[in-house]
Structures are given as C-alpha cells and as structure tokens.
C-alpha cells in the first residue's frame, strides 16, 4: 500500500467519529434499524413473467413487493456478490463513489424524495450507504481496513427489499451530485444497484414492459410501424384543419439529409402530440430534408434504468437506422433520458458514429462541433440557432394566452449542460416567461419526481411526494406571475407533470417547447390563426402585456 | 361576553405559528427543517388558517387544504395528521388570557378539524382519480391511432 495512504487506525477513527447523518428524533438510531415497509402507493408492480422471458431476464415469476417470500433464485447472494465484483472492475466510477464518500452530509437535504418524504433513507448519502454497507462487508480489501466499522452489514433478503424500495425512490436525477464536494454521483450507484436487482429478478414492470416493447417493435408502447405512421398522419390532418397548411413528413426515406428521432410519447401521448405538431410545422417552415423512421421509432431508452447492456442495445438501434437510411446526421426531439444516454454514454458505448457526418445546419450553416462524436443534435439547440439567424417568422403574441415558466429536465440540464438554448427559444416565442426560484432551476433543478421509470399509476402517492419540491416552486411563480403554463423539453415530464400539477397546482397546464414554437410560427399561406395547437383560443388582442421575464 | 379569538390569536401569532409548525414538521420520520419546500408550504397554509381563524372562511379553508394536501400523500394515519388541529386549539388556549371564552374556541377548532377531515379525504380521492385518469389517457391515445 502507498506510503501516503492513511493508516488503519486513523481511517477507522475517522469513520467511527463521523457524525451520523440522522438528526432530531432519529439521532440515536442507525439508519439500518429502520424497517422497510411496503404498502399501497409505495411500490411499483414487478415485471410480468412473459415480459422477462421475452428479453431473457432472469427469474421470471409472479410476485409482489408485499409478499413475505420474494422467491429469489438459489444462490442469489453469490449472484449479487459476483455481479458487484464484475461491475466494480468494469466501472471505475462506481468504485470511486463507493470509496470516496466522507459522509459530510452536504447532499443530505438535496434530494427531492427526502424533501418530500422526510425519510432518512432518501438522503443520497444513506441511499448510497445501502449498497456501500454490503460492499464494505463483502470485499476483503475494504474489510481489512474497515472491519469493525459499524457501517458494514451482511447481505440478507431484508437488504434486498430495502434496495428495491429505495433504489426505486431515486430518479437518477443527479441533483445531489451538484452539491457533493467530491462529485459523487448517487445516480450511478442507483443504476448499478438496479442492475444487480435485475440479476435476481427484482424489477419494475413500468420499466421492463417498455424495454421489451422497444426491443420488439422499436418503441415503448409496442406500436407497429403502420400505426406509428397513421398516428403521425392524423396529426398532419389536425395541423391542416388548424392552419390550412399541409405538412409532408416522410418515413424511412433513404438519402434524406437528416433522420429525426423523438420519444414515442410525442407521437402517442397527450400533451406530447402537440409538441410533435410543433416539430412538423417547424420542419415545413424551413423546408428541412428529413425523414422519420418506423424502426427507430423511439428516442427514449429505458435500458438506462435497467442494465448497461440493454441501454447499449436500444441506443444502437438509432445508429443502425441512420446508417441504413444513409442520412448525414440525426436530429433528436425533446427528450430527457435519450439525451443523457447520447451525451454521456453513446460515444464510448456504441461510437464513434463514423458513418455519419459532423452535423451542419442546412439552413444556417452552423457547425454543431459539440456533436462531433455522437452526430446527434438537440432540437432546442437547432431551433435556437435558427432563431438567432433570423430564419423563423415568429409571432410571440400568439402565445399571449400563456404565462409560462420553464422546468429544466434533469437529464438535459444536469446530464448534458443545456441551460440557455430552451430559454432563448422560449423568450422568442412568448411574451411572458417567468423563472422559478434560483435554487430550483438550471443545474439545481428539481426532478418531476417520476423520472427513471417510476411513472407507474400505482406509485402515485410516492410520485406526488417526490415531485412536491418542483410543484412548490411552480406554485411560487403561479402566485407571483399568474403562471398557467409549465414548459418543458422532456417527454417523461410531459407525462408526469400534468398529474403533479393537477394535484398541487390546479390550473397549470404542461407544454412542450416546440408546441409553443408551433403556435408562434407564421406559416406561408396559412389561414388566420385563432386557436393554438390544442384548439384553445389564442389571446391575440392581448398585445402590450407586461413581460415579467 | 363573546371573546374575539381573531384578535387574541393575532397578538400571539408568531409564537403560536412557530410551535404549530414545529409540531407538524416533527411528524415526518426525520424532522423536516422549516426552510424546506414542505416547511415553507406548511408555514403558508398555517399562517392562512391563523389569519382567518374567525374571519374569511374561504381563506381559512384554503389554508386548511394546503396542510391537508401535504399530509394526504404521506404514509401516516389520517388521525396522526389531523391531530394537528386539536393541537392548535391547545396551543391557542395555553396562550389566551384566562378570561377568554374557551367554549367558542373549542367549537371553532372542532369545525376546523372536521373541515380538515373533508379536505384530507378529498385529496386522497384526488390521488385515486389521478391514477384512473392516467390509465384512461393512455388508452385514449392508443384508441386515437386505431380509430382515426
Ligand atoms: S456530499 Fe458527497 S461526500 Fe458528502 S455525504 Fe454526500 S455523497 Fe458523501
Ligand atoms: S440522484 Fe436524485 S433522486 Fe437519486 S439520490 Fe440523488 S437527488 Fe435523490
């Protein structure tokens, strides 16, 4: 061991004397003494046996978190132990995060699930300890140094239950990592813990069903190509009715310049479809040479919430399709985790995408050098560039009926550092944009509370708790500026924020950024617009309204 | 003589509010800090209740709802959450002058507690409604594609 390493006695003392993160009524307890409790509203249904069989995942069976016996496979301890060992070798970040935490507590009150529930096991430091305590006990090198430290414990079925509960009360949002002086990313610890749980068949149907569907037909809902096309064409009809303009999307067209991929929530979800209408109007407005694939019909990648291998497989599909269609580059729609995967993992996972070209906007000539490795450009960035170069004819008064605020999606803001572009676009397409309090936006944004595949109906109470800090910040701007529109650039947000708003802030509706772009775009030859894309009346006469931005 | 409870409370509002808030925050497994979103929202709701204790019933109800909505998604028993309202009665009673008419206070606290019970249930129902709506809207979007 290095002569600079701290001595054993020194280390042991440091750990033993560290204050417990628990305060107040819990100060004299250890976190592992607090029992795990499953009741209605605090657990997600497990994966169905047929779903697991379809994707070759282990231990398919019927079970529920409230069962006494979870029917874990024989030798499950060894499976977890070996699985952890393998991942410690594979992911240096995991080992670093498990070893480096000094339990300073800076992250403790930064997690929205802790802030919404007051449950100490939702403090990121303790969430990581759930895995770390087993790691300490099971791994000899660490054991040698820390044996006797009370923070190590044996892997029991109770521990598995606890992992299942708390690693699905983490939305992998990374807010805690922003505040950690060492940059420890608890989200990555959660990702590994979920992978380990999947090895023994402890899982979540709301994640695995979309994974299986995506694996089979290319999108989360398992919609087949003809229905996918049909749905987009029904949006084309709606656009024609509203604006008099016929847009012409093409599907699977070889040789198109750009492949456009968006989450299927934009094609099948309400209010996502209005965002899709916005994209279609925009592409028509600028005469973009693009095509949509019915094979890569999903931008989302629930593999991120399952296993590294599954994430890789689902991500690869987009690139296979880009290669097959011989496009130059990929334009990606408003999505959260698709971008986390592309931005953080794609280049080393499936890259380099040499068969594509470094993206250049055909309209402005801007080179997106930041996308040199992935060859994929975010639509907010693409549109911001168009606006900056004066390429769009916009009438922001057409959004005067909306008093907006902007929710930074965790994956786009913290996951890829995109903070300004959506704001730039929003300011150009509406007259009332009001920021939420500073400690709840940009890289400090609060999660919607239902990300990372826990958007299950049966989990509603927990989602309302986890989403409360976000909702509370919206309440502030609702009160101060009469905000009635929460704008976001993530399809999961468009699915999760509407119920969150209906519970905590009735009267605030959720919009995609490009829905507002679609409202504001002045199309050549359009019929006079009186209704927005939702067929709600526009307040065009409202010019001169104060700008609160 | 009828006591003016609104005035009695108004003169002691900060002390009552602080104790009431701390008791509510202590209901969470790990005591919530007052500067958290939950602390802020509870403070606002509680303040509304105290400011409109005997006055504007709508605003008082809004304050009660603000508190009930927070507790309706927590795993505590309803009786634990609702115990906050009788507790408010005790806190006010302790601080009131001996001459004040406590019967009036009791009656008002009872009414507030019953209203809190209604609001708590309404919010629980809302949760179930949201679950149903979520399932239904997914189905609606699927049908949209097959029937159009
Ligand atoms: S802030 Fe970082 S070092 Fe401090 S307790 Fe949290 S994870 Fe550990
Ligand atoms: S990643 Fe997000 S949800 Fe997970 S512990 Fe950190 S703050 Fe909480």
- Domains of chain B, start order: 2-120 (1.10.490)
Report, as an integer, the average pLDDT of A456-474: 96
Shortest-distance Cα residue to atom 1 of ligand 1:
A180
Task: Return d(Cα A295, Cα A219) in angstroms, integer.
Answer: 8
Task: Return d(Cα B81, Cα B70) in angstroms, integer.
Answer: 10
pLDDT digits (tens, 9 = 90+) for B57-104: 899 999 999 999 999 999 988 999 999 999 999 999 999 999 899 999
Q: Is the pLDDT of residue A543 over 60?
A: no
Task: Return d(Cα A219, Cα A212) in angstroms, integer.
Answer: 9
CB contact set of A193 (below 8 Å; sequence gap of 6+): A130, A131, A163, A167
Residue A334 contacts residue A379 (beta carbons within 8 Å)? yes
The interface predicted TM-score of the complex, written ipTM, equals 0.94
Which DSSP letter does residue A7 get?
Answer: P
Question: How long, in residues, is chain B?
Answer: 148
Mutate to test the pocket of ligand 2, among A176, A193, A443, A445 (most ligand atoms within 8 A of CB): A176
Position A144 scores a pLDDT of 47
Centre a 10 Å sphere on the Cβ of residue A4 and count the other Cβ atoms it contains.
Answer: 5
Interface A-B: count of C-beta contacts within 8 A: 102
Distance from CA of B101 to the nearest CA of A (A): 36
Determine the Cα angle at A44 with ends A38 and A49, to 5°. Answer: 115
Does the beta-carbon distance from B69 to A504 stay under 8 Å? yes
CB contact set of A170 (below 8 Å; sequence gap of 6+): A111, A113, A122, A124, A127, A186, A187, A190, A452
Q: Number of helices (H) and strands (E), helices first, in chain A?
A: 24, 7
Report, as an integer, the average pLDDT of A342-351: 89
Residue the block writes with tokens 């309209």? A363
Residue A431 contacts residue A547 (beta carbons within 8 Å)? yes
Position A41 scores a pLDDT of 81
Residue A154 banded pLDDT, cuts 50, 70, 90: confident
Q: Is the pLDDT of residue A46 over 70?
A: yes
For residue B82, what are its two tokens?
């609702």
Residue the block writes with tokens 């976000």? A470
Q: Is the pLDDT of residue A421 over 70?
A: yes
Cα dist from A192 to A96, A474, B109, whole Å:
13, 32, 51
Q: Is the pLDDT of residue A547 over 50?
A: no
Which DSSP letter does residue A528 get?
Answer: P
Position A374 scores a pLDDT of 93
DSSP A157-223: HHHHHHHHHHTTS-----HHHHH-TT---HHHHHHHHHHHHHHTT---HHHHHHHHHHHHHSSTT--
Position A149 scores a pLDDT of 46
For residue B65, what are its two tokens?
């709802």
Position B136 scores a pLDDT of 80
Give me chain A's average pLDDT, please: 91
Does the beta-carbon distance from B31 to A23 stay under 8 Å? yes
Residue among B81, B101, B77 nearest B2 (CA): B101
Which DSSP letter does residue A296 get?
Answer: S
Centre a 10 Å sphere on the Cβ of residue A476 and count the other Cβ atoms it contains.
Answer: 17
Report, as an integer, the average pLDDT of B122-136: 93
Q: Is the pLDDT of residue A50 over 70?
A: yes
CB contact set of A34 (below 8 Å; sequence gap of 6+): A26, A120, A121, B29
Residue A501 contacts residue A508 (beta carbons within 8 Å)? yes
* Residue burial A244-258, b: 16+ Cβ < 10 Å; e: rest: ebebebeebeeebeb
Residue among A163, A193, A133 nearest A70 (CA): A163
Strands A329-332 and A258-261: parallel
DSSP A66-98: T-S---PPTTHHHHHHHHHHHHHHH-HHHHHHH
Position A352 scores a pLDDT of 87
Which has more pLDDT, A497 or A134?
Answer: A497
For residue B12, what are its two tokens?
């002691």
Cα dist from A421 to A1, A134, A334, A386, whole Å:
49, 43, 12, 11
Position A52 scores a pLDDT of 97
Position B31 scores a pLDDT of 86
Q: Is the peptide bond before A271 cis (omega within 30 degrees of 0)?
A: yes
CB burial class (10 A; 0-12, 13-18, 19+) of residue A289?
A: middle
User: Which residues, in sequence order, are bridge partners of residue A491?
Assistant: none
Q: Which atom of ligand 1 is nearest to the CA of A183?
A: 2
Q: Is the pLDDT of residue A523 over 70?
A: yes
Task: Return d(Cα A99, Cα A131) in angstroms, integer.
Answer: 11
Task: Return d(Cα A458, Cα A40) in angstroms, integer.
Answer: 7
Q: Is the pLDDT of residue A18 over 80?
A: no
Q: Is the pLDDT of residue A545 over 80?
A: no
Task: Return d(Cα A526, Cα A533) in angstroms, integer.
Answer: 14
Report, as an integer, the average pLDDT of A175-202: 96
Residue A113 banded pLDDT, cuts 50, 70, 90: very high
Residue among A440, A439, A445, A392 nearest A417 (CA): A445
Position B30 scores a pLDDT of 85
Residue the block writes with tokens 């549109």? A383
Of A15-19, A221-225, A470-474, B32-36, the one with minimum mean pLDDT is A15-19
Task: Return d(Cα B142, Cα B145) in angstroms, integer.
Answer: 6
Residue A336 contacts residue A411 (beta carbons within 8 Å)? yes
Does the beta-carbon distance from B127 to A41 stay under 8 Å? yes
Q: Which atom of ligand 1 is nearest to the CA of A186?
A: 7
Q: How many alpha carbons lie under 13 Å from residue A215 in its C-beta half-sphere? A: 21
Percent of chain A with pLDDT over 70: 90
Position A19 scores a pLDDT of 47
Local structure of A40: helix, strand or coil: coil
User: Which residues, in sequence order, are bridge partners of residue A512?
Assistant: A488
Position B134 scores a pLDDT of 87
A126 Cβ below 6 A of ligand 1: no
Nearest to A120 among B30, B37, B148 (CB): B30
Which DSSP letter does residue A437 get?
Answer: P
A111 Cβ below 6 A of ligand 2: yes
Task: Return d(Cα B72, Cα B65) in angstroms, integer.
Answer: 10
Report, as an integer, the average pLDDT of A43-66: 96
Q: Is the pLDDT of residue B140 over 70?
A: no
Does the beta-carbon distance from B144 to A231 stay under 8 Å? yes
Kind and range of the H or E run holding A292: strand A290-292
Report, as an integer, the average pLDDT of A382-390: 98
Residue A366 phi/psi, 5-degree rounding, is -65, 135
Nearest to A461 among B26, B41, B73 (CB): B73
Residue A491 contacts residue A302 (beta carbons within 8 Å)? no
Q: Is the pLDDT of residue A165 over 90?
A: yes
Centre a 10 Å sphere on the Cβ of residue A148 and count the other Cβ atoms it contains.
Answer: 10
pLDDT digits (tens, 9 = 90+) for A492-514: 999 999 999 999 999 999 999 99
Position A158 scores a pLDDT of 93
pLDDT digits (tens, 9 = 90+) for A276-327: 999 999 999 999 999 999 999 999 999 999 999 999 999 999 999 999 999 9
A 11-70 residues with CB < 8 A to B: 22-26, 34, 37, 39, 41-42
Position A252 scores a pLDDT of 98
Give me chain B's average pLDDT, please: 90
CB contact set of A197 (below 8 Å; sequence gap of 6+): A160, A163, A164, A167, A203
Of A30-34, A159-163, A185-189, A334-338, the one with minimum mean pLDDT is A30-34
pLDDT digits (tens, 9 = 90+) for A430-444: 999 999 999 999 999
Task: Return d(Cα A467, Cα A490) in angstroms, integer.
Answer: 15
Residue among B3, B85, B70, B77 nearest B39 (CA): B70
Q: Is the pLDDT of residue A15 over 90?
A: no
Residue A521 phi/psi, 5-degree rounding, is -65, 130
Nearest to A25 among B26, B126, B135 (CB): B26
A180 Cβ below 6 A of ligand 1: yes
């Amino acid at each position: 061991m290095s002569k600079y390493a701290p001595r054993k006695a020194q280390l042991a003392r440091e750990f033993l004397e560290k204050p417990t993160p628990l305060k107040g009524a819990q100060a004299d307890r250890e976190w592992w003494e607090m029992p795990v409790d499953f009741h209605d509203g605090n657990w997600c249904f497990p994966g169905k046996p047929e779903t697991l069989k379809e994707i070759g995942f282990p231990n398919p069976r019927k079970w529920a978190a409230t069962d006494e016996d979870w029917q874990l496979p024989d030798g499950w301890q060894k499976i977890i132990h070996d699985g952890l060992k393998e991942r410690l070798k594979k992911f240096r970040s995991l080992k670093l995060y498990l070893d480096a935490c000094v339990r300073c507590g800076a992250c403790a009150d930064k997690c929205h699930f802790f802030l919404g529930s007051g449950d100490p096991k939702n403090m990121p430091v303790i969430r990581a300890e759930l895995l770390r305590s087993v790691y300490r006990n099971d791994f000899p090198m660490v054991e040698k140094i820390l044996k006797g430290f009370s923070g190590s414990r044996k892997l029991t079925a109770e521990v598995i239950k606890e992992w299942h509960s708390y690693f699905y009360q983490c939305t992998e949002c990374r807010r805690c990592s922003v505040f950690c002086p060492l940059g420890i990313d608890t989200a990555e610890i959660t990702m590994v813990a979920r992978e380990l749980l999947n090895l023994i068949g402890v899982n979540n149907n709301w994640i695995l069903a979309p994974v299986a569907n995506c694996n089979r037909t290319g999108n989360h809902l398992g919609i087949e190509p003809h229905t996918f096309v049909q749905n987009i064409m029904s949006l084309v009809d709606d656009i024609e009715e509203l604006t008099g303009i016929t847009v012409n999307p093409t599907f699977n067209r070889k040789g198109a310049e750009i492949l456009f991929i968006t989450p299927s929530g934009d094609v099948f979800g309400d209010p996502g479809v209005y965002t899709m209408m916005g994209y279609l109007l925009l592409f028509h407005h600028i005469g973009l040479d693009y095509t949509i694939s019915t094979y890569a019909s999903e931008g989302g990648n629930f593999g991120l919430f399952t296993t590294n291998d599954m994430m890789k497989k689902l991500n690869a599909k987009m690139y296979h399709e880009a290669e097959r269609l011989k496009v130059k580059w990929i334009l990606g729609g408003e999505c959260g985790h698709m971008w986390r995967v592309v931005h953080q993992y794609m280049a080393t996972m499936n890259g380099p995408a040499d068969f594509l070209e470094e993206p250049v906007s055909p309209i402005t000539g801007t080179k997106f050098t930041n996308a040199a490795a992935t060859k994929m450009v975010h639509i907010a960035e693409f549109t911001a560039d168009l606006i900056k170069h004066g390429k769009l004819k916009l009438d922001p008064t057409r959004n005067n009926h909306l008093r907006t605020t902007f929710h930074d999606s965790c994956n786009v803001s913290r996951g890829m550092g995109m903070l300004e572009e959506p704001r730039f676009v929003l300011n150009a397409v509406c007259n009332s944009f009001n920021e939420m309090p500073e400690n709840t936006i940009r890289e400090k944004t609060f999660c919607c509370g239902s990300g990372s595949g826990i958007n299950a109906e049966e989990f509603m109470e927990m989602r309302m708790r986890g989403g409360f800090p976000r909702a509370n910040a919206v309440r502030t701007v609702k009160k101060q500026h009469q905000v009635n529109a929460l704008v976001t650039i993530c399809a999961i947000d468009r699915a999760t924020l509407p119920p969150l708003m209906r519970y905590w802030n009735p009267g605030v509706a959720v919009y995609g950024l490009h829905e507002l772009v679609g409202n504001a775009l002045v199309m050549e030859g359009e019929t006079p617009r009186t209704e927005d894309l939702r067929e709600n009346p526009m307040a065009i006469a409202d010019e001169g309204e104060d700008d609160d931005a | 003589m009828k006591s003016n409870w609104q005035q009695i409370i108004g003169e002691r509002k900060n002390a009552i509010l602080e104790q009431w808030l701390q008791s509510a925050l202590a209901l969470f497994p790990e005591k919530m800090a007052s500067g958290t979103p939950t602390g802020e929202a509870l403070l606002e709701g509680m303040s509304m209740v105290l400011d409109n204790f005997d006055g504007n019933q709508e605003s008082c109800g809004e304050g009660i709802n603000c508190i009930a909505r927070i507790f309706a998604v927590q795993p505590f028993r309803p009786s634990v959450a609702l115990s906050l309202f009788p507790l408010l009665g005790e806190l006010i009673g302790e601080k009131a002058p001996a001459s004040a008419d406590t019967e009036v206070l009791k009656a008002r606290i009872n009414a507030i507690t019953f209203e809190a019970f209604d609001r708590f249930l309404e919010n629980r129902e809302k949760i179930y409604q949201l679950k149903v709506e979520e399932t239904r809207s997914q189905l609606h979007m699927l049908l949209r594609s097959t029937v159009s």
